[in-house]
Homo-oligomer: A and B are copies of this chain.
């Protein structure tokens, strides 16, 4: 059941060294590809880094200095850089008028599809939003004007599922009017 996958999914910061077969990576990407997005813009591009020397160089470069808190990512055999491409004209107009960048919502949906699919396949992931963006661009030959929405680690987890620390339902749910 979906709820079991959701409970199993957690930010994994310790990975086993085995690589991930490409067919499993493709299965996760397929889950992401089928995601909904504002005006069906599909404003995303996934760069899978699974060549070990390249992946190591990338992690060495982008998790230095102020980004060192995410050095754990070096352990993961695969890192994916997710580019947020431009949304459609209509989605951008609507987003401008509403003060909401729909492309970021779309990114959230697609990468979470990826993460849930990975979990079902016995893999684990970690969303990383804090990294040296320009170094990622240089190493992966991403044009300077592109925006990297996030990195995602992928691999086989060394960790067991932990209890989730979340707000209580009453703190985040109201019926028929806002109650804080």
Q: What residues of chain A have their CB less than 8 Å away from a CB belonging to chain B?
A: 1-3, 5-7, 9-11, 26-27, 29-31, 33-36, 38, 40, 42, 44-51, 54, 83, 94-95, 98-102, 104-109, 111-113, 115-117, 120, 127, 129-130, 133, 140-143, 146-147, 149-150, 164-167, 169, 172-178, 180
Contact = CB atoms under 8 A, between A and B. Distances in A.
Nearest to A130: B94
A48 B129 contact: no
Nearest to A103: B104
Contact of A108 (B48, B106, B133, B167): B106
A106 to B, nearest CB: 7
A146 B177 CA distance: 13
A31 to B, nearest CB: 6
Given A50-B175, A98-B133, 18 more contacts: A2-B117, A2-B120, A3-B27, A33-B166, A33-B172, A36-B112, A44-B172, A45-B174, A46-B173, A47-B177, A49-B175, A51-B176, A98-B129, A98-B130, A100-B104, A100-B149, A109-B109, A116-B116
A73 to B, nearest CB: 16
Nearest to A146: B178
Tell me how many chains of this kind the complex includes. Answer: 2
Contacts of A104: 100-101, 104-105, 108
Contacts of A164: 34
Most chain-B CB neighbours within 10 Å: which of A100, A111, A140, A167? A100
A54 to B, nearest CB: 6
B108 A2 contact: no
A141 to B, nearest CB: 5
